[in-house]
Chain A
Amino acid sequence: MKYLDDEQYLVQIAQGSQQGFAMLVDKHKELAFTVALRITGNREDAEEVIMDAFVKAYRSLGSFKREAKFSTWLYRIVFNTAISRTRKKSLEFTPLDDTLTERLPDMGSMASVNELTYEEKEEFVNSALQSLPPDDALLITLFYKESIPVEEISQITGLSQSNVKVKLHRIRKRMAVMIQTRISKPLSVIT
């Protein structure tokens, strides 16, 4: 389905259109759900989080100052609601095992990841995301899956841009090690 620009929906909502808000929800619910799911870790909580977040967003539309994109503002609300739900006061990144990340992976063997089937790749990414701390899993999903630029990730998570870059770099290294480990073992042994 092709959606309009967010601004057009906001104008419709300001004129009292429920349909405008419903379209805005449809447009953003999947990424909002992904953000909430990465933080909460389960679908039921994630759905409750985005339900609350959309209600909050609706009630706060009057205070949306357009300093950031509407989507960034919305995902920030989702992120904060999810953090509150999980009783986390701030981002807590699990320190990485330096000896693990310092082992440089062989990119030649990593490249053979392309030989994996669609299902195997999906299964690998899902298990890799589960092994990462929730906040790291969120960062890497936003960056690689949703192609959200660092600046927007920074606005959504409240981390500085340089901090996001450092985190992404470390997660990238960790993922590279995971990929190498995975490639060197038959999938059936790992799963």
Chain B
Amino acid sequence: MSLQQQLDADKILHDLFANLKTESPSEDFTRRLMTRISPEFIHQESIEPFKISGRIWLAIFVSVVFFSLLFFTSDIPAFDFLNKYLDFRWLADFTISDRSALFFQKMVSSIEGIKLNYILIPFMALLGLIGIDRVINHKAGNTTFFTFL
């Protein structure tokens, strides 16, 4: 196709398409759409009730477990002092079945031997916070506090 042919075809096509009727959705489309999203307008205007989602509960649970492990396994002297009063081996005595008692005993003995250097604690805490942040903001695809990561 020469340039002139292209220009001619271009002109003819413009002319042909100018005759094409504009397609429209049904007449009540806008009304139906607004009915569908109106509750969201109202919802935005009202104060959202306090609600903790499953994702937040998961984050809280992970946080508690994480910081408990950090607390019981750290070698900070103050923690050792508290450890004497907060011995969690009592869990093994209040279990429903032998199997769960065995589980707790194993868990306790495995944790007891671990001692973390307190220098590592800030780094582990940072990793924990990043992990929690990711869990909470997973759906949005971004992080709240650690956008630089």
Given the known A-B contacts A55-B33, A113-B16, A144-B17, are A107 and B25 also in contact in the complex, defined by CB atoms under 8 Å? Answer: no
Q: Which of A1-55 contact B (CB under 8 A)?
A: 16, 18, 21-22, 25-26, 29-30, 33-34, 37, 43, 46-47, 50-51, 54-55
Task: Let me know if A58 and B40 touch, CB within 8 A.
Answer: yes
A-B contact count (CB 8 A): 106
Task: Let me know if B34 and A22 touch, CB within 8 A.
Answer: yes
Task: Let me know if A54 and B33 touch, CB within 8 A.
Answer: yes
A179 CA / B5 CA spacing, docked (Å): 13
Interface size class of A (residues with CB under 8 A): 35 or more
**What residues of B have a CB within 8 angstroms of the CB of A176 in the complex?**
1, 5, 9, 12
Task: Indicate if A122 sits at the interface (CB-CB under 8 A).
Answer: yes
Chain A residues touching B, majority SS: helix
Residue of B nearest to A54 (CB): B33
**What residues of A have a CB within 8 angstroms of the CB of B16 in the complex?**
113, 121, 124-125, 144, 179
Residue in A55, A118, A169 whose beta carbon sits within 8 Å of that of B19 in the complex = A118
Residue in A21, A118, A122, A172 whose beta carbon sits within 8 Å of that of B6 in the complex = A172
CB distance from B66 to the nearest CB of A (A): 31
Task: Let me know if A51 and B36 touch, CB within 8 A.
Answer: yes
Task: Indicate if B24 sits at the interface (CB-CB under 8 A).
Answer: yes
A122 CA / B23 CA spacing, docked (Å): 13
Task: Let me know if B30 and A18 touch, CB within 8 A.
Answer: no
A154 CA / B40 CA spacing, docked (Å): 32
A34 CA / B34 CA spacing, docked (Å): 20
Task: Indicate if B78 sits at the interface (CB-CB under 8 A).
Answer: no
Task: Indicate if A141 sits at the interface (CB-CB under 8 A).
Answer: yes
Task: Let me know if A59 and B33 touch, CB within 8 A.
Answer: no
Interface size class of B (residues with CB under 8 A): 20 to 34
Residue in B4, B8, B22 whose beta carbon sits within 8 Å of that of A34 in the complex = B22
Task: Let me know if A29 and B19 touch, CB within 8 A.
Answer: no
**What residues of B have a CB within 8 angstroms of the CB of A144 in the complex?**
13-14, 16-17
Task: Let me know if A172 and B9 touch, CB within 8 A.
Answer: yes
Task: Indicate if A85 sits at the interface (CB-CB under 8 A).
Answer: no
Task: Indicate if A185 sits at the interface (CB-CB under 8 A).
Answer: no
**What residues of B have a CB within 8 angstroms of the CB of A25 in the complex?**
29-30, 33-34
Task: Indicate if A96 sits at the interface (CB-CB under 8 A).
Answer: no
A-B contact pairs, 5 of them (CB 8 A): A21-B37, A46-B25, A107-B4, A122-B19, A175-B9
Chain A interface (Cβ < 8 Å from any Cβ of B): 16, 18, 21-22, 25-26, 29-30, 33-34, 37, 43, 46-47, 50-51, 54-55, 58-59, 104-105, 107, 110-111, 113-114, 118, 121-122, 124-126, 140-141, 144-145, 169, 172-173, 175-176, 179
Chain B interface (Cβ < 8 Å from any Cβ of A): 1, 4-6, 8-10, 12-26, 29-30, 32-34, 36-38, 40-41, 44-45
* Given A51-B29, A55-B33; 11 other pairs, CB 8 A cutoff: A21-B34, A22-B30, A22-B34, A29-B25, A50-B29, A55-B37, A104-B5, A110-B12, A118-B19, A121-B19, A122-B21
Closest 6 CB pairs of A and B: A144-B17, A145-B17, A121-B19, A107-B8, A176-B9, A33-B25
